[in-house]
Amino acid sequence: MLTFILQATKADNFKDGIYLGIAVAAAIALFILSKKFSRKG
């Protein structure tokens, strides 16, 4: 996983790597939020 991120940052399409990181962070955030909401429900 880390090697893939490093390769993405080294690649010419640096913006794609940034967008990928944002997408992964958003997915993790949504996963954590869904767990918190499921506990309340």
Give me the pLDDT at residue 5, please: 60
Distances (CA, A) of 28 to 11, 25, 32, 34: 24, 5, 6, 10
Mean pLDDT by 10 residues, the chain (41 residues): 64 74 91 86 57
pTM, full prediction: 0.53
Give me the pLDDT at residue 18, please: 82
CB of 8 closer than 8 Å to CB of 17 = yes
Give me the pLDDT at residue 12, please: 62
Question: Cα 24 to the chain's mean position, in Å?
Answer: 1
Instruction: Give the three-state DSSP class for 16.
Output: helix
* Angle 19-13-21 from CA coordinates, rounded to 5°: 25
